[in-house]
Amino acid sequence: MAVPVRVLGIGAYVPERTLTNHDLEKMVDTTDEWIVSRTGIKERHVAADGEATSDLAYRAACQVMERTGVSADQIDFIVVATVTADMQFPSVACLLQDRLGAHRAGAVDVAAGCTGFLYAFHLARSLVASGVQKRVLVVAAECLSRMLDWTDRSTCVLLGDGAGAMILEAAPDGVEGVLSSHLGSDGGLWDLLYFPGGGSRNPTSHQTVDQGLHFFKMNGQATFKQACGVMERACQQALEEAGVSLDQIDLVVPHQANLRILNQLSERMGIPAGKMAVTIDRYGNTSAASVPMALNDYYQEGHLKPGDLVLIVSFGAGLTWGAAVFRWS
Ligand code: ACO
């Protein structure tokens, strides 16, 4: 018998420094009009000098722990979703574990691009549902600004930095709070989004730096074409596994990659405007962090009440995708 799992709370952190489209107009050959009309992004936040992914993760984790009253020694496990770790190893999760003083917790990072939060959520849910762990801290944190070629207008205008955090635990009242979580991948599409340098295939050298292999690479149009289809199918599967219809969902929180993708998804699925979280205008694409950051904003703005059903969905590098349905508690 699976242990019922509940989502205990949400937190987030956004770096203070903002970079507007008008700032970018001074850096590359672009315009506010192009960026807004093609992506919906107006500004993004960028980590301060010396601020790294684990610093963002720590701030988001502190917020969810403060809100939920969970102390560091009550955390059994930490999963951090990121593709922009402070260093190749150790994991951001280990750095976070130390900084929080979560001395009982195991800690691991997962890399699933923009779907990272869904993967971390699914792993946390599985750990709790299996009875192996009681309480898991899930964090998604990214400093994509450090991976960008700031002379390449086709990528540097899209991304931003930030972090979100959630706690999942064994439901004390025995009521199931996580109705479903569904993941998928197609590694055949790995070259739609990737970061070639610094790994075992292209270890860092003067040559890899000269070739710009230390920058984020993306086939934007091909990614766009995949995005709606995989998110729609993931949503349908998550709804089916949860045994609920879209009408019963109170809030859909999709990955924030492009407003046109969000509009297409809502049209294809028939999601009413007020039911879909949209925060891309203020943060850009924050990769794995975008879903928990958007959820946090909608929570703070009073859009969520206990018992509400939330559908989260994402797609990203890999190619990966995932969706989940849970009850807000
Ligand atoms: N400013 C002005 N012009 C630009 C810019 C810019 N910032 N960027 C590209 N252009 C130009 C191009 O050079 C091209 O010019 P040309 O017609 O003279 O050749 C023109 O605009 C059209 O370029 P497209 O690439 O066709 O533009 P498109 O409408 O496809 O939008 C975009 C590009 C925004 C990248 C879109 O394809 C997209 O959002 N794709 C999905 C990206 C995504 O979802 N990424 C996911 C995850 S990221 C992660 O995993 C971390």
How close is the Cα of 62 to the center of ligand 1, in Å?
36
CA separation for the pair 93, 78 (Å, rounded): 6
What's the token pair of residue 98? 């130390």
CA separation for the pair 154, 222 (Å, rounded): 14
Domains 5-170 and 178-327 share a fold: yes
What's the token pair of residue 135? 């309480």
Ligand 1 contact, 257 CB (< 6 A): yes
Ligand 1 contact, 115 CB (< 6 A): no
**Ligand 1 atom 29: the closest Cα is on which residue?**
38
- Indicate the residue type of 232: E
**Three-state SS for 101?**
coil
End-to-end CA distance of the chain: 22
**What pLDDT is recorded for position 1?**
76
**What pLDDT is recorded for position 158?**
97
Q: Pocket of ligand 1, candidates 26, 35, 38, 53: which has the most ligand atoms within 8 Å of its Cβ, to mutate?
A: 38
**What pLDDT is recorded for position 273?**
84
**What pLDDT is recorded for position 310?**
98
Give the CA angle between residues 231, 220, 267 to the nearest 5°: 35
Q: Could you state, in order of their start, the residue ranges of all structural domains in the chain? A: 5-170, 178-327
**What pLDDT is recorded for position 258?**
97
For the CA atoms of 213, 219, 224, 228, the dihedral, rounded to the nearest 10 degrees, stands at -70
Ligand 1 contact, 114 CB (< 6 A): yes
Ligand 1 contact, 220 CB (< 6 A): yes
CA separation for the pair 96, 75 (Å, rounded): 12
What does the DSSP assignment read for 189-202? GGGGEE--TTSSSS
pLDDT per residue, tens digit, the chain (329 aa), is: 799 999 999 999 999 999 999 999 999 999 999 999 999 999 999 999 999 999 999 999 999 999 999 999 999 999 999 999 999 999 999 999 999 999 999 999 999 999 999 999 999 999 999 999 999 999 999 999 999 999 999 999 999 999 999 999 999 999 999 999 999 999 999 999 999 999 999 999 999 999 999 999 999 999 999 999 999 999 999 999 999 999 999 999 999 999 999 999 999 999 998 899 999 999 999 999 999 999 999 999 999 999 999 999 999 999 999 999 999 99
**Three-state SS for 74?**
helix
* CB distance 182 to 238 below 8 Å: yes
Atom of ligand 1 nearest to the CA of 316: 50
* CB distance 137 to 165 below 8 Å: yes
Within a 10 A sphere around the Cβ of 301, how many other Cβ atoms? 9
CA separation for the pair 47, 153 (Å, rounded): 19
Atom of ligand 1 nearest to the CA of 258: 39
Ligand 1 contact, 314 CB (< 6 A): no
Among the four given CATH numbers 3.50.50.60, 3.10.20.90, 3.40.47.10, 3.30.365.10, the one describing domain 5-170: 3.40.47.10
CA separation for the pair 207, 77 (Å, rounded): 40
Within a 10 A sphere around the Cβ of 98, how many other Cβ atoms? 14
Query: How buried is 123 (Cβ within 10 angstroms: 0-12 exposed, 13-18 middle, 19+ buried)?
Result: buried
**What pLDDT is recorded for position 78?**
98
Query: How buried is 52 (Cβ within 10 angstroms: 0-12 exposed, 13-18 middle, 19+ buried)?
Result: buried
Among the four given CATH numbers 3.40.47.10, 3.40.50.2300, 3.30.70.20, 3.40.50.150, the one describing domain 178-327: 3.40.47.10
* CB distance 134 to 170 below 8 Å: yes
What's the token pair of residue 6? 């509940």
Give the CA angle between residues 317, 117, 81 to the nearest 5°: 80
What does the DSSP assignment read for 226-250? HHHHHHHHHHHHHHHHHT--GGG-S
pTM of the model: 0.97
Give the CA angle between residues 170, 131, 83 to the nearest 5°: 80
CA separation for the pair 75, 131 (Å, rounded): 14
